[in-house]
């Protein structure tokens, strides 16, 4: 964290995830191909090359620094806004009726419907994909 800020001040071209030297970061074993494949399915991202996978590995290591903090007996926090009031809106119709504007974003439309492929097209299996992971 502090590391990033300092590096940023030094105007490096890209951020690097470098753990504090004095900490023994308990990182789990290297990210496996199965996990990466699963992630590609879930998030439809493409770990294009070894650099992409390396960056992921380093990012995980960086985040693992959080394990150093003793959180025994501390409630997890979802958001710093947790003490704010959740605003309740009155049940009035105030929006909508902008079909034309919304459809401007659509590449294809049929009579005011958005057009999509027929159901989800499943990501092909690892063996059949043009992905870097195949080589791993």
Partner 1 sequence: PYKVVGLEIHAQISSNSKLFSGSQVQFAAPPNSLVSFFDASLPGTLPVLNRRCVEAAVMTGLALNCSINKKSLFDRKHYFYADLPAGYQITQQRVPIAVNGSLSYSLCIDNKMSQMVTKTVRIKQIQLEQDSGKSLHDDVRSQTLVDLNRAGVGLMEVVMEPDMCCGEEAAAAVRELQLILQTLGSSQAVMAEGQLRVDANVSVHHPGEPYGVRTEVKNINSIRFLAKAVDYEIERQIEELESGGTILNETRAFDSKLGCTVPMRDKEGKQDYRFMPEPNLPPLILYNARSLPANMNHQQVVNIDWIHERLPDLPSVKRAKLVEQYGILPEHSFTLLNEAGLTEFFEDVIKQTQMKPKKVIGWILNDLLSYLKQHSLTVKESPVSSFLLADLLNRLEKKEISSTAAKQVFAELWKGEGKTPLEIVKEKKLQLIQDQEDLERICQAVMAIKSGNRKVLNKLIGLVQRETQGRSNPVLVKQLLEKKLSE
Does residue 86 belong to the site contacting partner 1 (CB under 8 A)? yes
Does residue 71 belong to the site contacting partner 1 (CB under 8 A)? no
d(C-alpha 124, C-alpha 23), whole Å:
41
Bridge partners of residue 109, in order along the sequence: 114
Nearer to partner 1, 50 or 99 (CB): 99
Does residue 82 belong to the site contacting partner 1 (CB under 8 A)? yes
Q: Looking at residues 108 to 127 of the shown chain, list those that interact with partner 1 (rule: CB under 8 A).
A: 110-120, 122
Does residue 90 belong to the site contacting partner 1 (CB under 8 A)? yes
- Piece in contact with partner 1 (CB under 8 A), picked from 17-25, 51-59, 61-69, 74-82: 74-82
Q: In this structure, are residues 20 and 3 in contact, taking their beta carbons and an 8 Å threshold?
A: yes
Using CB under 8 A, pick the residue from 11, 13, 72, 83 that binds partner 1.
83
d(C-alpha 88, C-alpha 122), whole Å:
39
Backbone angles phi, psi at 109, to 5 degrees: -145, 155
Question: In 3D, which of 133, 127, 114, 110 has the Cα closest to residue 39?
Answer: 133
Q: Site residues (CB under 8 A) for partner 1? A: 38, 42, 44, 78-79, 81-99, 102-103, 105, 110-120, 122
């Amino acid at each position: 964290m502090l590391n990033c800020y300092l590096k940023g001040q030094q105007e490096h071209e890209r951020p690097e995830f470098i753990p504090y030297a004095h900490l023994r970061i308990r990182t789990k074993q290297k990210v496996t191909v199965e996990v990466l494949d699963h992630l590609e399915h879930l998030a439809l991202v493409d770990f294009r090359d070894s650099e992409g996978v390396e960056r992921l590995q380093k990012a995980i290591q960086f985040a693992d620094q959080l394990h150093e903090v003793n959180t025994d007996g501390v409630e997890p926090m979802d958001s710093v806004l947790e003490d704010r009031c959740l605003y309740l809106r009155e049940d009035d119709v105030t929006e909508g009726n902008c079909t034309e504007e919304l459809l401007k974003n659509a590449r294809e439309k049929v009579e005011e419907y958005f057009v999509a492929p027929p159901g989800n097209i499943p990501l092909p299996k690892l063996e059949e994909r043009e992905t870097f992971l195949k080589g791993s």
